[in-house]
Amino acid sequence: MQCCAANPDAGVVVEEPDSFYAIRPECRDDVPRTRFKPRPGRTLSARRWHASFSEEGYLDIALVLKRVQRGGVHPTIKGVVWEFLLGCYDPKSTFDQRSQLRQQRRLEYEKLKSKCQEMEKAVGSGRIIMTPVITEDGRSIEDRTSTGAASQEDITYDFGDSSSMTEQQMDNVLLDRDAIQWKLTLHQIGLDVVRTDRALVYYESQENQAKLWDILAVYSWVDKDIGYCQGMSDLCSPISIVIENEADAFWCFERLMRRLRGNFKSTSTSIGVRSQLIALASVIKSVDPKLHRHIENLDGGEYLFAFRMLMVLFRREFSFVDSLYLWELMWAMEYNPNLFPMYEADTTANKSQAEVKDRKLLKQYGKFERENLKAGSKDQQIPLSIFIVASVLEAKNKRLLKEAKGLDDVVKILNDITGDLDAKKACKGALKIHTIYLKKQR
C-alpha cells in the first residue's frame, strides 16, 4: 500500500511504514525497543499536513512546527515534511515553484551521478563496491571482489613534472587527483553500507543497499573537502528510507550535511566534532559545575565519551523509529525560516533582530531558535544536540557522581541508557537546560 498526497509536494511517494521499519526476526532481541507511536491530535498526520497548504501551495509553517514539536510526524509523510524541516524548500514558495525546483535538482543529481559513473562503472549499477578499486598512486586493482561490481579498464595517472604543464593540463591533474581520492573511499562506503541498519528488513534488498551506496558515493565526490567519513551512512540511511526518489533523498541528505559536515572535518591534531565537545563542556560547567568538576577529575574534561552521540545524532542510543522521531523534534525546534539561499529576495530573509521579535514572525521559528532570538544570544551556534547530551548527563547526574570512579564507568553508565531514553523527554530537558544556560550568559 502506498500513501501519496494530492498536491505536487507529494512527489516523494512514501509507502506505509511497516515495510520499511520492520525488524528481521533474528534481530528483534538485539535492538532497542521503540517508544514512539503516532498519536491523534498530537502527531502531524497526512490530513493535517495537506490542510496546512493554501490553494497556491504556501505552507503554514508555524502550524506544522507546533504539531511536529508536540508529537512528531506520521511515518507516511516523513519524507515530504523532512524536506521542509531541513530547508530544501521555502514554505513561502508555491506548488509550481517547488515542482520546478525539484525537477532542476533531479537533473543536477543525474549530472553528478553520470560524472561518477564515468569514473566508476559500479555507480548506478545496482551493485556496491566492497574492496579497494585503486591504489594510492592511481593504478586500478584487478580482480577486485565486490557485490558484483563492474570491471573496469586499468587506469594509470602519471602526474609527471608539473613545472612545464599548461593551466588546462594542471586542471586535469587536479581532477585526476580528486578522482583518485574519491575512488579510494568507495570500498569503505560499501563496507559501512552493509553494516548500516542491518537489522531492518528494508536492507535485505540489494537494490536498497545500492541506493544508499550511490547517494554516499555521489556526495563524497561533491563535497571534496570532507569526502566520505564513517558515520555518514548512519545519517543518510533514514533519509534514503523515507524518501523514495534517490535524487530527492540526496539533496535532503546534502542539506543535513550542511549542518553537520563540520563534525567530520579533521586534521592530524584535531577532530571536527571537538568544537562541539568544547561547547558541551562549557554548557555543563555553567549549569552543573559540580558534575563538570567530577568529570574533569576523572580526566574526562574533553567529553570524548559524548563523541558518538554527536557524530551520528543519537542513532545508537535510540531505536531506529525513535531516532527518526528525535531528529524531527530537533529540526522543528531549531527551525529558522532564513535557511533558504535560493529565496534571498524574500522579504523576511534579512529581517533585523528587532523585526524578528514580532510575535507573528516568531511563530515561524522553532522553540529552541525562538529562545535564542528572544535572548539575543551570542551562542546561537551551539546546536540543540549539545543540550540534549547535557540533558542525558543531567538525567544520570546522581549515578555519575556516586558510581563513576573512572572514565570507563562514565561510558558504562551512558551505554546503559540505550533503549531507555524518551526522545520527547530528552528534548524537553534540553530546552530547560538551554533556558538556564542563556540566563547564566547574561
3-state secondary structure labels for all residues of 360-372: HHHCCCCHHHHHH
What's the whole-number mean pLDDT along residues 197-222? Answer: 96
pLDDT of residue 39: 92
- Contacts made by residues 142-146, CB under 8 angstroms, sequence distance 24+: 146/122, 146/187, 146/190
Rounded Cα gap, residues 157 and 139, in angstroms: 7
User: What pairs with residue 134 in β-bridges?
Assistant: 140
Alpha carbon of residue 123 to chain centroid: 22
pLDDT for 175:
56
Predicted local distance difference test score (pLDDT) of residue 30:
83
Mean local confidence (pLDDT), 77-97: 96
**Among the ranges given (36-40, 195-199, 378-382, 394-398), the one the predictor scored with the smallest mean pLDDT:** 378-382
Q: With 50 as the cut, is the pLDDT of residue 189 above it?
A: yes
Which DSSP symbol is given to 124?
T
The rounded mean pLDDT for the chain is: 85
pLDDT on residue 272? 83
353 pLDDT higher than 70: no
112 burial class (0-12, 13-18, 19+ CB within 10 angstroms)?
middle
| Predicted TM-score of the model (pTM) | 0.86
- What is the predicted pLDDT for the residue at 248? 98
Q: What is the pLDDT of residue 154?
A: 38
Read off the pLDDT of each residue in 306-311 and give the average, rounded to a whole number.
Answer: 94
Contacts 24+ apart (CB under 8 A), 119-122: 119/179, 119/182, 119/183, 119/221, 120/152, 120/183, 120/186, 120/217, 121/149, 121/150, 121/151, 121/152, 122/146, 122/149, 122/150, 122/186
Instruction: Determine the average pLDDT of the residues in 349-364.
Output: 61
pLDDT tens per residue across span 122-165: 999 999 999 998 888 878 876 444 454 444 343 344 444 445 55
| Contact status, residue 300 vs residue 407, Cβ threshold 8 Å | yes
The 3-state DSSP class for residue 73 equals strand
Mean pLDDT within 252-258: 97
pLDDT above 60: residue 309:
yes
For residues 421-433, give the mean pLDDT.
94
Rounded to an integer, the average pLDDT of 372-378 is 76
Question: Quick one: what percent of the chain has pLDDT higher than 90?
Answer: 66
Q: Using CA atoms, how far apart are residues 134 and 77, in angstroms rounded to an integer?
A: 41
What is the arithmetic mean of pLDDT over 221-234?
95
pLDDT of residue 374: 84
Mean pLDDT in residue range 15-41: 78
274-441 adopts what CATH topology? Answer: Cyclin A; domain 1 (1.10.472)
140 three-class SS? strand
The per-residue pLDDT for 64 is 97
User: What pLDDT, on a 0 to 100 scale, did the predictor assign at position 158?
Assistant: 44
In this prediction, residue 426 carries a pLDDT of: 94
d(CA 187, CA 198): 18
Task: Please check the confidence at residue 377 and state whether its pLDDT lies above 70.
Answer: no
The domain defined by 107-257 folds into: Helicase, Ruva Protein; domain 3 (1.10.8)
- Confidence band of 7 (pLDDT split at 50, 70, 90): low
> Confidence band (pLDDT; 50, 70, 90) for 358?
low
Q: What average pLDDT does the segment 335-351 reach? A: 55
- 76 or 376, which is more confident? 76
* Percent with pLDDT over 70 in the chain: 81
- Give the residue-averaged pLDDT of 276-304: 95
Cell numbers 544508499 correspond to: 212
Region for residue 371 given its phi and psi (left: phi exceeds 0; alpha: psi -120 to 50; beta: otherwise): alpha
41: helix, strand or coil? coil
Nearest Cα to Cα of residue 128 among 111, 143, 150, 106: 150
Top-confidence residue, 169 or 64 = 64
From 174, 173, 140, select the one nearest 154 (Cα to Cα): 140
pLDDT at position 20 is 55
Q: In the prediction, which pLDDT does 72 show?
A: 97
Name the residue ranges covered by the structural domains of the chain. Answer: 2-96, 107-257, 274-441
Residues 402-429, mean pLDDT to the nearest whole number: 92
